[in-house]
């Protein structure tokens, strides 16, 4: 699913595969921070990882590229995402429990 990200945009994503128990949230947190994005990442009860990210268009696109691979040890099967309106309420990127 290829979509264009607009400036000041945001996306909501669900990542499936072997993405829990492999440090996905932790490395996702660091990658989003490195890119200067805000939002959150959390595990879902069904084994997926859910992400909300906001920021600069090019940096969001780079983050989506990273999500296709994930950290070493992960196996990303699918990345489903929707572009959403940026809330502008997130000051940083956080790991939610």
Which one is catalytic: 18, 25, 69, 85? Answer: 25
Token pair 């979509």 is found at 3
Catalytic residue status for 18: no
- Packed helices 24-35 and 57-69: angle between N→C axes, nearest 10 degrees: 160
Catalytic residue status for 43: yes
Which one is catalytic: 18, 42, 43, 52? Answer: 43
Count the Cβ atoms, other than its own, within 10 Å of residue 44.
13
Q: Report d(CA 55, CA 10) in Å as an integer.
A: 6
Q: Which residues are catalytic?
A: 25, 43
């Amino acid at each position: 699913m290829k979509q264009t990200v607009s400036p000041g945009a945001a996306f909501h994503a669900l990542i499936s595969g072997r993405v829990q128990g492999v440090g996905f949230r932790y490395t996702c947190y660091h990658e989003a921070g490195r890119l200067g994005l805000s939002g959150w990442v959390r595990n879902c009860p069904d084994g997926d990882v859910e992400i909300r990210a906001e920021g600069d268009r090019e940096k969001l696109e780079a983050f989506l590229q990273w999500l296709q691979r994930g950290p070493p040890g992960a196996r990303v099967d699918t990345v489903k995402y929707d572009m959403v309106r940026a809330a502008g309420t997130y000051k940083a990127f956080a790991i939610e429990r």
